Amino acid sequence: MKSLYLDPFSGVSGNMLLGTLFDLGLNFEDFKRELAKLEVTGYELTLTKTAKSAIKGHLFEVTLSAEFKGHHTDEGAEKVHHHGRNLATIESIINDSSLSESIKKAACAVFEEIAKAEAQVHGKKIDEIHFHEVGAIDSIVDVVGFFIGLELLKIDKVICGTLVDGTGTIKVAHGIMPVPVPAVMQMRINSEVPFRQREDVLTELVTPTGFGIIKFVTDTFGGIPDNLVVEQVGYGFGTRETGSLNALRGCLCNSLLSNQRVVQEQDQIMLIETNLDDVTGEELSDATQILLEKGAKDVWTEPIIMKKGRPAYKLCLLAAPTKSEELVKILFEKTPSIGVRQQLMNRKIMQRSVKSVKTRFGDIHVKYLSYDGFSKISLEHDELVDLARKNKVAVRELRNRIMEFVQNN
């Protein structure tokens, strides 16, 4: 399970997102080959490996080819909105391509989000919003390109920290706009995207394209979860001069499972419990999901009968003691609970190391476990199920075959 952690300490834009993916190893040639499936012409891509504030990273830029440059002028707002490509045109360019269905769906959803915001801001209908020539090509490359990048890098999940914008105003083709720019402010309505502004940076750090992508693609907002190991760090530069490092930092993370080695045979764990007689099934499921995402080692519910014969649930979770405060807060926020019980427990655990093993059915993570002279192995179940499906074999049979292979090699 590969996750991309984004740290937008200096905001986010389409080219910063792509620069970051290139710095994390996205291959430029593979990227261009995939992007060509859009069959859009009139642009050139530049990827520069450079350093800013002595930090090395990648700068990704989209420029219009000479024949298109001639047509672009600094038009007024009305003209900008009546020339170029509207949402429907952009969606048909994407949907008529031979890109994967998931890229098409994701890119269209982001364009729809941005166009809706622009329509609201400018008081127009969504189909009246036209991305002018530069903006259209640039945005198509950035939005579609980002999802191509995620697919090529085989990223399963995106986690993002707080978006940091500047303050003040910026000058665009049709006037002066406040920062955060209107389309970004519009997309922030009822969104969970964490956002703050730097008073010392008097320009835009979060662009509509950057915000639209982050809002759609992010699975979880917050810090890097405890169960992830950072395996690679990359920087994608922005083009604005901000007076400090203008970059987006990305970290490729893997679940601890991939390179975990636990040597101690005992530790301490916190058991947190709360009894709930007024919770809905929806709230319970939501709370369970969030607690797991935020680092609980396990979360489960037990049916109980409470005072006055009330059928109820006990929501229980196990967590590292250092995580308990954060998780208790989530329990209070996400359920009707007004009190929780905590017990610090001694835990016995098997020593373990995890290795990726190549088998003729495919790669699988194997856990090697030992305790006081006794040892055993176990296979990562989700991967086993995937391999069973791919190889059209029953899970049980595949487990036996892989276990036999691992034990004999």
Which stretches of the chain bind ligand L2XS5X25, using CB under 6 A? 13-14, 80, 118, 121, 135, 138-139, 170, 172, 177, 181-183, 204, 207-209
E strands present in 256-405: 261-262, 266-276, 298-306, 310-319, 341-348, 351-359, 362-371, 374-379
Cβ proximity to Ni ion: between 127 and 302 the closer is 127
Closest CA to 38 of 137, 153, 150, 151: 137
279 binds, among Ni ion, ligand L2XS5X25, none (CB under 5 to 8 A by kind): none
Asked if residues 298 and 272 have their Cβ atoms less than 8 Å apart, the reply is no
133 binds, among Ni ion, ligand L2XS5X25, none (CB under 5 to 8 A by kind): none
Minimum CB separation from Ni ion for residue 164, in Å? 22
Cβ proximity to Ni ion: between 57 and 166 the closer is 166
Closest CA to 252 of 7, 27, 5: 5
CA atoms within 13 A on the CB side of 154: 3
E strands present in 124-227: 130-131, 157-160, 163-165, 169-172, 175-178, 195-197, 220-221
Minimum CB separation from ligand L2XS5X25 for residue 141, in Å? 11
Helices (H) and strands (E) in the chain, counts: 13, 21
23 binds, among ligand L2XS5X25, Ni ion, none (CB under 5 to 8 A by kind): none
CA atoms within 13 A on the CB side of 255: 13
Residue 263: CB atoms within 10 A of its CB come to 7
Minimum CB separation from ligand L2XS5X25 for residue 257, in Å? 37
Minimum CB separation from ligand L2XS5X25 for residue 305, in Å? 56
Q: What angle separates helix 87-95 from helix 133-152, to the nearest 10 degrees?
A: 40
80 binds, among ligand L2XS5X25, Ni ion, none (CB under 5 to 8 A by kind): ligand L2XS5X25
Minimum CB separation from ligand L2XS5X25 for residue 58, in Å? 17
Cβ proximity to ligand L2XS5X25: between 40 and 319 the closer is 40
Binding site for Ni ion (CB under 5 A): 118
Cβ proximity to ligand L2XS5X25: between 2 and 79 the closer is 79
Cβ proximity to Ni ion: between 118 and 138 the closer is 118
Cβ proximity to ligand L2XS5X25: between 38 and 80 the closer is 80
DSSP state of 12: B
Burial (Cβ within 10 Å: 0-12, 13-18, ≥19) of residue 39:
exposed
Minimum CB separation from ligand L2XS5X25 for residue 61, in Å? 12
Minimum CB separation from ligand L2XS5X25 for residue 142, in Å? 7
223 binds, among Ni ion, ligand L2XS5X25, none (CB under 5 to 8 A by kind): none
Closest CA to 358 of 378, 381, 387: 387
Residue nearest to Ni ion (CB): 118
Minimum CB separation from Ni ion for residue 116, in Å? 12
Question: What phi and psi values does residue 191 have, to the nearest 5 degrees?
Answer: -100, 155
Cβ proximity to ligand L2XS5X25: between 170 and 257 the closer is 170
Asked if residues 58 and 235 have their Cβ atoms less than 8 Å apart, the reply is yes
208 binds, among Ni ion, ligand L2XS5X25, none (CB under 5 to 8 A by kind): ligand L2XS5X25
